Homo-oligomer: A and B are copies of this chain.
Amino acid sequence: MTSDFQVPPSLSIKGNEAVAKDILSRIWGKRGVFTCTVANTLTSTIPGVSEAGDTPELTLFTPAADAELLVLGKTVCMKGIPINPGGIPTPATLTIAALNLSGIQSHVINAGCKIVPNIPFYDVGGTYGEAITCGKSVKDVEMLYERGKILGELFAKDNDFIVISESCAGGTTTAMAVMMAMGVMKENLVSSSSPNNPKELKTNLVNEAFRNAGISIGSLADDPLKAIECVGDPMIAVNAGMVVGASKHVPVIIGGGTQMAAVIAVAVGMDDSCVGNIFQGTTRWLVEDRNSDIEKIIAGIHKDVPLIYVNMDYSKSPYEGLQAYEWGFIKEGVGCGGSSVAAIISSSGKITCDDLLEEVHRLYRNILHIE
């Protein structure tokens, strides 16, 4: 069954193909639930770190705005929708398209926001993170992880699989710091929502954070939660707990880019029994990004955590804001890859990249009021 499982052209696999096909064969045509965990850290307000927002200050509004878009189809905490400088729209547009077409239920989890979304959301009692440079970024990490585990168990009940994801500006920097503190990544391989990935700045910030935390590369290999407490963000703690809690019962799609790789690193570090029941669900844009290396990052965590990505292509889109995804902007976020992979899975492949693109165009016109 597994070996001869036919993967549709909308999807591609990297890494352990046997594990990927085994999981796909178990959840193909089945029912899943989508969750998006939002959080702030003041790291995103350090000029140059994050482009998930038109200005450093606006990056704090991006998670709340993405959450409002997911639940309401419009934003309340800000005017318009989150955009990168240059007017490139949030990847939530693709996420919403995938959820609309598949009918998959979605829930927002607030891991710790400074700007709180104006919607009902799952609260885990978290507070927003500090700038990692202080070396003491996240409070109550163990509680966040434990409550994430409870949420994972809860959502696994009566569902065949769950998708977890994130919106946390500045998250690639905290993800890089956590993976380096754990020693699963030795050099900066993380992505950016900009084609001009500010690698030197991120590396300098992580070095400063390590100095102030009194840690070094790999020194927290055996204490993933401590790595989050020192140089991580609240999203990683909650989502890692969800992976561990849910994967005991059902497969978990870790939806997102290098930020979610840190979630995998922590989850595997806390309880590697999740391996074999999880894969990373992402986009072609991220996998093909020349400025990051998601395959190498995941391989550094565990050889049996495969990557399944959706072959979305915006190059023929009439909208420049979407074409920009092909030029290296955005690439991932708000579980756009994981939700697309989930929509294709739950529909037994009936939903295709063309269907998703058409719905993205419809949403894009509605949201940006284009005729």
**Which residues on A are within 8 Å of B, measured CB to CB?**
31, 33, 71-72, 103-107, 109-110, 118-125, 147, 150-151, 154-155, 157-159
Look across to chain B and name the residue whose beta carbon is closest to the beta carbon of A346: B158
Asked if A103 and B147 sit within 8 Å, CB to CB, the answer is no
What are 24 A-B residue pairs whose CB atoms fall within 8 Å in the complex? A31-B158, A33-B158, A72-B150, A103-B158, A104-B158, A105-B154, A105-B155, A105-B158, A105-B159, A106-B154, A109-B120, A110-B123, A118-B125, A119-B147, A119-B150, A120-B122, A120-B124, A120-B151, A120-B154, A121-B122, A121-B123, A122-B122, A122-B123, A123-B123
Tell me how far the C-beta of A199 lies from the nearest C-beta in chain B, rounded to whole angstroms.
36
Residues in B neighbouring A154, C-beta threshold 8 A: 71, 105-107, 120
Look across to chain B and name the residue whose beta carbon is closest to the beta carbon of A155: B105
Residues in B neighbouring A72, C-beta threshold 8 A: 150
Given the known inter-chain contacts A122-B122, A123-B121, A123-B122, please indicate yes or no for A103 contacting B150, CB distance below 8 A. no
Residues in B neighbouring A106, C-beta threshold 8 A: 154
Tell me how far the C-beta of A261 lies from the nearest C-beta in chain B, rounded to whole angstroms.
24
Look across to chain B and name the residue whose beta carbon is closest to the beta carbon of A121: B123
Which of A107, A120, A151 has the most chain B CB within a 10 Å cutoff?
A120
A104 to B157, CA, bound (A): 8
Look across to chain B and name the residue whose beta carbon is closest to the beta carbon of A148: B120
Residues in B neighbouring A118, C-beta threshold 8 A: 125
Residues in B neighbouring A105, C-beta threshold 8 A: 154-155, 157-159
Tell me how far the C-beta of A114 lies from the nearest C-beta in chain B, rounded to whole angstroms.
16
Residues in B neighbouring A122, C-beta threshold 8 A: 120-123
Asked if A150 and B31 sit within 8 Å, CB to CB, the answer is no
Residues in B neighbouring A119, C-beta threshold 8 A: 147, 150
Tell me how far the C-beta of A125 lies from the nearest C-beta in chain B, rounded to whole angstroms.
8
Tell me how far the C-beta of A146 lies from the nearest C-beta in chain B, rounded to whole angstroms.
10
Which of A103, A118, A125, A151 has the most chain B CB within a 10 Å cutoff?
A125
Residues in B neighbouring A120, C-beta threshold 8 A: 109, 122-124, 147, 150-151, 154
Tell me how far the C-beta of A262 lies from the nearest C-beta in chain B, rounded to whole angstroms.
21
Residues in B neighbouring A123, C-beta threshold 8 A: 110, 120-123
A118 to B125, CA, bound (A): 9
Q: Which 3 A-B pairs have the closest CB atoms?
A: A123-B123, A105-B158, A120-B147
